[in-house]
Amino acid sequence: AQSVAQPEDQVNVAEGNPLTVKCTYSVSGNPYLFWYVQYPNRGLQFLLKYITGDNLVKGSYGFEAEFNKSQTSFHLKKPSALVSDSALYFCAVRDLNYGGATNKLIFGTGTLLAVQP
Amino acid sequence: NAGVMQNPRHLVRRRGQEARLRCSPMKGHSHVYWYRQLPEEGLKFMVYLQKENIIDESGMPKERFSAEFPKEGPSILRIQQVVRGDSAAYFCASSPGAANYGYTFGSGTRLTVV
């Protein structure tokens, strides 16, 4: 079964420092990977996705993610954190159980990013 | 170009009542997904629908929960005889037909059962 794991419930970083939010995946076949962000009392917003191609994917708000097939990871990164980046971040993988005909996403448990001024 | 519209934003029901949550997908999106978010548990898949068809309901509780996406009108998530444990945020998302697109999420309906 497809799954993603976010090993950290919370990540704390000082404003201006680089940040990393970790995600590892388990899929049978080529993974389709996504990152979403959720601000308080809001729905999830799409940040970026990896389907194929370059391992470094650039997304919204200065975020990027690196696909690493050997480590089955898709960590989210940003060179310089902002206080406004504080939110809940979700990694997701597309479920391939229907032979590629589905767009169902399986989400991780989320990582709360706290950026201190 | 309205996004995914969910209503109501907040819903309070007494135990035993019915809750109806509505979701209008983005224009041109024919796939709808419902997720439930509980504190400390992340986002759990419930059901995936296309127009008039349930594609995957593997995340739906066996009793009291049902979903539909009629030919005309919004998708409806219906919870009968609500219990306190149903209190959660329910999110709807939509996508176009292509398999490698992500979702567009609505702002959610926060259900409180008292």
Tokens 């049978």 appear where? Answer: A28
Instruction: Assign A11 to helix, strand or coil.
Output: strand
B-chain CB neighbours of A45 within 8 Å are 105
Q: Name the residue facing A104 among B6, B45, B110 (closest C-beta).
A: B45
Rounded Cα gap, residues B80 and B57, in angstroms: 17
Q: Name the residue facing B99 among A42, A100, A106 (closest C-beta).
A: A100
Instruction: Assign A12 to helix, strand or coil.
Output: strand
Q: Is the predicted pLDDT of residue B35 greater than 90, yes or no?
A: yes
Q: Looking at chain B, which residue has its C-alpha nearest residue A6?
A: B42
Confidence at residue B38, expressed as pLDDT on a 0 to 100 scale: 87
**Residue A102 contacts B, CB cutoff 8 Å:** yes
pLDDT in tens, A65-116: 999 999 999 999 999 999 999 999 999 998 766 555 567 889 999 999 999 9
Q: Return the H-helix or E-strand segment holding A89.
A: strand A87-94
Confidence at residue A2, expressed as pLDDT on a 0 to 100 scale: 81
Cα A68 to the chain's mean position, in Å?
A: 13
Q: Which of residues 27-66 of A touch B (CB under 8 A)?
A: 32, 34, 36, 41-46, 49, 51
pLDDT in tens, B58-110: 899 989 999 999 999 999 999 999 999 999 999 999 988 755 567 899 999 99
Q: Do A110 and B43 touch (CB under 8 A)?
A: yes
Q: Which regions of A28-86 does DSSP assign to beta strands (E)?
A: 33-38, 44-50, 56-58, 64-68, 73-78
And the tokens for A26?
A: 């388990």
**Residue A112 contacts B, CB cutoff 8 Å:** no
Q: Name the residue facing A90 among B43, B45, B99 (closest C-beta).
A: B43
